[in-house]
């Protein structure tokens, strides 16, 4: 009967250790998920904060057209726009 008691105690100890390992793994997984959510939020914020930079090329092209149009208007108003270049 002593062997049965030793076996039950050993089995109980194994179950307790496995349960503790699972609890630690679950806690670490939750921490990792929270960190991943924080990283994702920071990435979304960075993307939103730099969205205007992606439109910079369009802005430069529009500004170039405005400057060219203004120069052409200036030349036309000064009498230099007779179609000869």
**18-39 pLDDT, tens per residue?**
999 999 999 999 999 999 999 9
Please give the model's pTM, rounded to 2 decimal places.
0.54
Q: Are residues 64 and 24 in the same domain?
A: no
Domain enclosing residue 66, as ranges:
55-85
Q: Are residues 13 and 30 in the same domain?
A: yes
Which residues, 6 or more positions from 75, have their beta carbon under 8 angstroms from its beta carbon?
81
Q: Are residues 13 and 35 in the same domain?
A: yes
Q: Are residues 68 and 43 in the same domain?
A: no
- What confidence tier does 53 reach under pLDDT thresholds 50, 70, 90? confident
Structural domains of the chain, count: 2
């Amino acid at each position: 009967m002593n062997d049965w008691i030793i076996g039950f105690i050993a089995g109980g100890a194994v179950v307790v250790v496995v349960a503790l390992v699972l609890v630690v793994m679950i806690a670490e997984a939750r921490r990792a998920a929270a960190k991943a959510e924080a990283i994702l939020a920071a990435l979304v914020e960075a993307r939103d904060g730099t969205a205007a930079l992606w439109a910079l090329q369009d802005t430069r092209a529009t500004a170039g057209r405005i400057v060219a149009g203004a120069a052409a208007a200036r030349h036309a108003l000064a009498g230099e726009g007779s179609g000869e270049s």
